[in-house]
A and B are shown apart, each in its own frame.
Chain A
Amino acid sequence: MSLRLVQELAGHDDRVWSVAWRPGGGPSVLASCSGDKTVRIWEHSPGASPSSATWVCKAVLDSAHTRTVRQCEWCPAGKLLATASFDSTLGMYEKIGTEISFIASFEGHENEVKSVAWNSSGSLLASCSRDKSVWIWEVLPGHEFECVSVLNGHSQDVKMVTWHPSRDILVSASYDNSIKVWAEDVDGDDWRCVQTLAAPGRGHTSTVWGISFNATGDRMVSCSDDLTLMVWDTSADCVSTSADGVAPWKHLTTISGYHDRTIFSVHWSRVNGLIASGAGDDCIRVFDELRDNVSTLPGEGLSYEMVLKQEKAHSTDVNCVRWHPKEPRLLASAGDDGVVKIWELVGGDLPLLSNESLPYDPRG
C-alpha cells in the first residue's frame, strides 16, 4: 500500500491545524482552519472521479475569529460548521446552497478553545479549552446554543473532544496525560465523568493530543506526545456494563516504536477500518489490525501493524489526518507548511466495512 498525492491545496498564510470533510451528499467538501485566523472551504468538482485533482477553494471565512482557528467541524447533516479558536470563542457558519455565512459566535471559555465536536444526531456540541473545562452545548432552534453542562475534571488543558459515533458518550484528551469518558446521568439532568484512562493503570505518559472512534464505537485509538498510539476496547466487556449503560474501556494494545516525534493526530476510518496518524516527524502512517492470527476471544491477542509510511508527507509537522467519510481511499492532511493535501490510498485489499454498520451519518 502507498499514498498517491492527489492534489496540494495552497492558500493559507500560516500553519494549517485541522481539516474536516463535510458529511452528506453532493460533491466532496473539505474545510481547513489555520493560524492565519481563517477557515477555507475546498470543493471537489461535481461528477469528477473522487481521486481527480479538481479541488478548488470556494470560500475564505474570516468573520468569526481574531486569533488562530484550531479546529472546525461540520454537523452530521453538513449544514453547520463549528469553529474553535484561540480567541476563546466558538464560531458557527451555515451553508445554504453554495453560500456559507457566519451566523453566531459564542463565549464561555476563559482562554484558548482547542477543539469542538458534534454528537451523532447533531443536537449537542462539545468544546474544550486551556481553561481545563469541557462544555456541552445544546443546539436550539433559531441558531441558539445553550450551555447545558460545564465539565471539570481534567487538571490541565483539554486538547481534544470527540463523540461516540452513535451514542451520547463524549471523550476528552488532555495535557494532563489522561483520557476521560463522559456520559449523561441516568436521570438525564447532568453529565459526569464515568471513566478516566490514565496512569497508574494503563495510559499515556505525556500529553494526549487526539482520539478517534472506530465505525461501530466499540474501540477507540489515542495518540500522544509519548510517541505511542493506544487502542482501547469496550466490546469484550458487555457483561460489566454499569447501571447507566456505559461499558468501561480497557487498554487493548499499544502501538509503539514507529513514531519519532509527537503524534498530533490519529483517525480511524469508518469506511476501510484503517488507522492513520500524523506526527511531528513529518510522516503519515497507516496501521491495520493484524488479521492472520486468529484469536479465540474478542479483544485478546490483537495487534496492529504499520501498512504504510509516507515520509515527508508535509515539509514540516503533520497536524491533522482525516479519512473521507465515504470514499474508502481518500485521506486529507494538514501541516505546519500551510498546505492541505489530498491523498489516495493505492494498492492493497481494503477491508471494506458494510455501509449498514455505519452509524456515521444518520441523516445522510
Chain B
Amino acid sequence: MVSGLINANPVVHERKERSSRPCVNKILDSKIPSIHHVRDITDPEHPYSLEQLNVVTEDSIFVDDSKSYVKVTFTPTVQHCSMATVIGLSLRLKLLRCLPPRFKVDIQLAPGSHSTEAAVNKQLNDKERVAAAFENPHLVELVEKCLVSTEE
C-alpha cells in the first residue's frame, strides 16, 4: 500500500495490429485514419497506452463520416478512477487535433464503468467546462504528457 497509484497493478494487454481488419462501421474513410491514434494515448498513471490497458479499444470508437460524428467510449481500469476526467480530456484534445472541425464528438464512460459516471460524462461533454479546462496550464501539461506517444 506504499503506492500512491489509484490502480497499482493494471492488467496489460497486447497492442493490436492496425488496419488489418476493416472498421466495424465501414464508414471510416481515408481522410481520418489518424483517429485510431487515440488508442495510443498514454495512461496518466502508467507507461502503457489506453489500448494496452483496455481503456479504449477499436470497437469503442464509433465513426459516422457522412454525419460528421464520432463517439468514443472509454472504460477506466478501476471504478473510482480519479483520472477519468484527464483521460476524457486527453481523448477530446487528440480528436480536436486529428479530426476536421466539421466533426461533432461525444466522449463517454462505458455504462457501469465508473462510480460517478453521469457527473464525469456531463463534464466531458460541456464544451464551456472543457474550454476552461484547456486554459488551465497544469491540466494541459498533464494532458499533453498523455498525448506525446500519439504523435508520429
What chain A residues lie within 8 Å of B101 (beta carbons)? 315-316, 336-337
Interfacial residues of chain B within 93-152, with CB under 8 A of chain A in the complex: 101-102, 104, 122, 126-129, 131-132, 135
Asked if A206 and B102 make an inter-chain contact with CB atoms under 8 angstroms apart, the answer reads no
Interface size bracket, B side? 10 to 19
Q: A157-B129, A280-B104, A315-B101 are in contact. Are A207 and B135 (CB under 8 A)?
A: no
What chain A residues lie within 8 Å of B135 (beta carbons)? 67-68, 86
| B130 → chain A closest CB, angstroms | 11
A130 at the interface (CB under 8 A from B): yes
Asked if A159 and B128 make an inter-chain contact with CB atoms under 8 angstroms apart, the answer reads yes
Q: A207-B122, A207-B126, A317-B127 are in contact. Are A112 and B132 (CB under 8 A)?
A: yes
Which residue of B is nearest A337, CB measured? B101
- Give complex CA distance A68, B130 in Å: 12
- Give complex CA distance A177, B127 in Å: 16
| A131 → chain B closest CB, angstroms | 12
| A291 → chain B closest CB, angstroms | 35
Q: How many residues of A contact B (CB 8 A)?
A: 25
A76 at the interface (CB under 8 A from B): no
What chain A residues lie within 8 Å of B122 (beta carbons)? 175, 206-207
* Secondary structure type dominating chain B contacts: helix
* Secondary structure type dominating chain A contacts: loop
Which residue of B is nearest A37, CB measured? B135
- Give complex CA distance A262, B126 in Å: 9
What chain A residues lie within 8 Å of B102 (beta carbons)? 315-316
What chain B residues lie within 8 Å of A35 (beta carbons)? 131
What chain B residues lie within 8 Å of A262 (beta carbons)? 127
| B56 → chain A closest CB, angstroms | 23
- Give complex CA distance A111, B133 in Å: 11
Most buried by A among B126, B127, B128, B131: B128
Which residue of A is nearest B103, CB measured? A316
Interfacial residues of chain A within 168-207, with CB under 8 A of chain B in the complex: 175, 206-207
- Give complex CA distance A312, B41 in Å: 32
What chain A residues lie within 8 Å of B132 (beta carbons)? 68, 86, 111-112, 130
A114 at the interface (CB under 8 A from B): yes
Interfacial residues of chain A within 276-294, with CB under 8 A of chain B in the complex: 280-281
| B125 → chain A closest CB, angstroms | 8
What chain B residues lie within 8 Å of A86 (beta carbons)? 131-132, 135
What chain B residues lie within 8 Å of A329 (beta carbons)? none
- Give complex CA distance A336, B96 in Å: 13
What chain B residues lie within 8 Å of A250 (beta carbons)? none
What chain B residues lie within 8 Å of A336 (beta carbons)? 101
- Give complex CA distance A45, B126 in Å: 38
- Give complex CA distance A261, B101 in Å: 16
| B100 → chain A closest CB, angstroms | 10
- Give complex CA distance A157, B128 in Å: 11
What chain B residues lie within 8 Å of A225 (beta carbons)? 126
Which residue of B is nearest A87, CB measured? B135
Which residue of B is nearest A67, CB measured? B135
- Give complex CA distance A112, B130 in Å: 12
Interfacial residues of chain A within 304-344, with CB under 8 A of chain B in the complex: 315-317, 336-337
- Give complex CA distance A35, B131 in Å: 8
- Give complex CA distance A70, B129 in Å: 12
| A352 → chain B closest CB, angstroms | 35
What chain A residues lie within 8 Å of B129 (beta carbons)? 130, 157
Beyond contacts A261-B104, A315-B101: 8 other A-B pairs, Cβ-Cβ < 8 A, are A68-B135, A112-B132, A114-B128, A157-B129, A175-B126, A280-B104, A317-B127, A336-B101
Enumerate chain A interface residues (CB-CB to B < 8 A).
15, 35, 67-68, 70, 86, 111-112, 114, 130, 157, 159, 175, 206-207, 225, 261-262, 280-281, 315-317, 336-337
| A-B complex: 3 closest residue pairs judged by Cβ atoms | A112-B132, A67-B135, A86-B132
